[in-house]
Amino acid sequence: MSTTESRKPATIDAIAKKSLSALGIDLGGTKIRAAIVRQNQMIGEPHQIKTPEGREQILAALYDLIAMFQNEAILGGIGIATAGIVDCTTGEIVGSTGNLPGWSGTKLKEVIESKFLLPVHVENDANAAAYAESRVDALKEKKCVVTVTLGTGIGGGIVIEGKLYHGAAWGAGEIGHIKIAQDNKRMCTCGLFDCWEAFGSGRGLVITAQEMLQNVSADQSPLAEKTESLTTHDIFAAADQDDFIAKKIVQRWHEHIMHGLVCIAHILNPDCYVLTGGLSDFVDFELLKEMVIDRCLPRIADAIDIRKSELAGQAGIIGAAQFALDELLTASQS
Amino acid sequence: MSTTESRKPATIDAIAKKSLSALGIDLGGTKIRAAIVRQNQMIGEPHQIKTPEGREQILAALYDLIAMFQNEAILGGIGIATAGIVDCTTGEIVGSTGNLPGWSGTKLKEVIESKFLLPVHVENDANAAAYAESRVDALKEKKCVVTVTLGTGIGGGIVIEGKLYHGAAWGAGEIGHIKIAQDNKRMCTCGLFDCWEAFGSGRGLVITAQEMLQNVSADQSPLAEKTESLTTHDIFAAADQDDFIAKKIVQRWHEHIMHGLVCIAHILNPDCYVLTGGLSDFVDFELLKEMVIDRCLPRIADAIDIRKSELAGQAGIIGAAQFALDELLTASQS
């Protein structure tokens, strides 16, 4: 665009597009959070409720939430990030999710659209988060951004040249189920053995700790006293207090995270990993990056950056809403 | 296009484009093979020479080969598939390759173009093969085709919606270096530990056999007599003759191949794997597919097809040449 053109006053149409906002909803196993989103940014703090049990109860809660926001703002659309594998064309939950029993099979886009007469985009939560993460200013020029959510499980999303990659059956980015050990060492909650998530998630970390503490006395580490009721918080707190055994456990956890990142690196050759989720607060990024680079082919290692999310848990909300907005804008252009 | 339009006589331009041919060259560690390619098909049998030692000697051999084909046909361009990581924009070998010492750093596109005044495309050999494999009629509609070359090592190429995926630094598809074991079980020729290739390649299979034969007597398996000099051929031949131990070794090799495919599946959610390379002849596709499906999330398992290459080792030649042709046709459209 020439300077002359860019100095023309903006058209009403362009201004209207820029000011379009959508409701972003992040539907998780324990809580539902929602906020208005405009141009990749949340307007105000998200509203949060507890996730009720059962499909009908969840839908009723969503209806209330949307109606509430409709009273507050003019919505261009609604974006919903949900656990489970989602067919984004139909907006149906097509793959099971342990965190939301009975949720699979829900035609979420259809039911919400017919009730509110607004365009709805439904997306897997890790994918929605990855989409938002890849759009922050620092990463816009990256070729391949892989977002890794470290929480109770491990989720992921792959953005290639600005576009979310969904795979052949909406299942791409299920990176928690990369196989990182041989011979059925540890069972994952999905029923498969040796998934990355069975080692690198919060749940995995606790199991690693329990294994490593088997022959450790309470003298050597206070953690040994409460092996059965151990939490990730206990482990990180002990490591923080220079408990030698706890530090070894945390180091081992970093090795497990490294393993998955190394696998992804030799397949996708990404130029950025974004780590998010509750456990990313406890990652030693210097150490992890060193471990990963040390275990990749030089050409692939050189390209890798590993960052912590800047979006502080809001990425699901922002990404879901932004999908809805992008669809609106694309539709208005055609 | 309407029926009326499609029945118009073809323009000279369209006919000329269809009849364009390029020279495809597959430059490997032991041999160089070349043939004329038109519309994804090789014309005649490939010409084959031994790969000479040293960069200058290889270049001289390529010059002779190209000059020979120039006397035989009108070439629209030249495509070269080579071991190593290739920057396809500059056509330079940017990543080392053990099979062609001293080859890294060669500005292959530049030197060949300046000598023959023809457009040249240089591509990593596994990528060139993947490109050709993904274009066979049966796979044209697939969303994500991952080609896996099982030979002395393991190579790979990823084609997403018809386009080869190169990654951030031309390193995508280096799938032989996915990490499939923990704790430095086995060193790979690349210097990293526990790479897929260290287990699933021909070299890996021999090491697996040597490990498994350690406590086996010659009575139990004749393979035990020649552990030191064992070849993949020995192993497959013994398994064919119902040697129980050899069959276990081959089964273990299938598990190792399965492991890498399962990792790729949960990242990319491909709808097809194409297995190629010398060792793909010995893969039990039924068994392998069963193993992979059993270790993937249902949604991802359902999408997976695993096939043997139909191109019988010609994919590198065809893919490289087709890249050159596609570039010519794209350039002529703009």
Query: What confidence score (pLDDT) does residue B279 get?
Result: 96
Average pLDDT along chain B: 93
Asked if A171's CB is within 8 angstroms of B303's CB, the reply is yes
pLDDT for B6 equals 56
What global pTM score does this model have? 0.93
Average pLDDT (B87-109) is 89
**Domains of chain B and any CATH numbers:** 3-131+313-333 (3.30.420.40), 141-308 (3.30.420.40)
pLDDT tens figures, A256-283: 999 999 999 999 999 999 999 999 999 9
Res. B12 pLDDT band, cuts 50 70 90: confident
Which residues on B lie below 8 Å from A168 (Cβ)?
142-144, 269-271, 303
Q: Which of A1-5, B54-58, B224-228 has the lowest average pLDDT?
A: A1-5
pLDDT in tens, B47-74: 999 999 999 999 999 999 999 999 988 9
Percent of chain A with pLDDT over 90: 84
- CB within 8 Å: A266 and B180: no
Res. A329 pLDDT band, cuts 50 70 90: confident
Reported confidence tier of residue B2, pLDDT bands at 50, 70, 90: very low
Closest CA of chain B from A96, distance in Å: 9
pLDDT value at residue A1: 43
Q: What is the ipTM of this complex?
A: 0.93
| pLDDT value at B1 more than 70 | no
Give the whole-number percent of chain B exceeding pLDDT 90. Answer: 84
By CB neighbour count within 10 A (0-12 exposed, 13-18 middle, 19+ buried), where does A285 fall?
A: middle
Band of residue A178 on the pLDDT scale cut at 50, 70, 90: very high
Between B324 and A29, the higher pLDDT residue: B324
Q: Is the dihedral of CA B294, B300, B303, B304 positive or negative?
A: negative
CA distance A266 to chain B (A): 5
Pairing, β B120-124 against β B77-82: parallel
The 3 state secondary structure assigned to chain B is CCHHHHCCCCCHHHHHHHCCCEEEEEECCCEEEEEEEECCEEEEEEEEEECCCCHHHHHHHHHHHHHHHHHHCCCCEEEEEECCEEECCCCEEEECCCCCCCCCCCEHHHHHHHHHCCCEEEEEHHHHHHHHHHCCHHHCCCCEEEEEEECCCEEEEEEECCEECCCCCCCCCCHHHCECCCCCCCECCCCCECECHHHHCHHHHHHHHHHHCCCCCCCCCHHHHHHHHCCHHHHHHHHHCCCHHHHHHHHHHHHHHHHHHHHHHHHHCCCEEEEECHHHHHCCHHHHHHHHHHCCCHHHHHHCCEEECCCCCCHHHHHHHHHHHHHHHHHHHC
Q: For the residues B300-328, what does the mean pLDDT come to?
A: 94
Burial of B53: CB neighbours in 10 Å, binned 0-12, 13-18, 19+? exposed
Residues B109-162: tens digit of each pLDDT: 999 999 999 999 999 999 999 999 999 999 999 999 999 999 989 999 999 999
Chosen for mutation from B185, B268, B302, B304 (greatest number of chain A CBs closer than 10 Å) is B268
Inter-chain touch B95–A192, beta carbons under 8 Å: no
**pLDDT at residue B3 greater than cutoff 60:** no
- The mean per-residue pLDDT over the stretch A85-112 comes to 90
Chain A residues inside the 8 Å CB shell of B142: 168
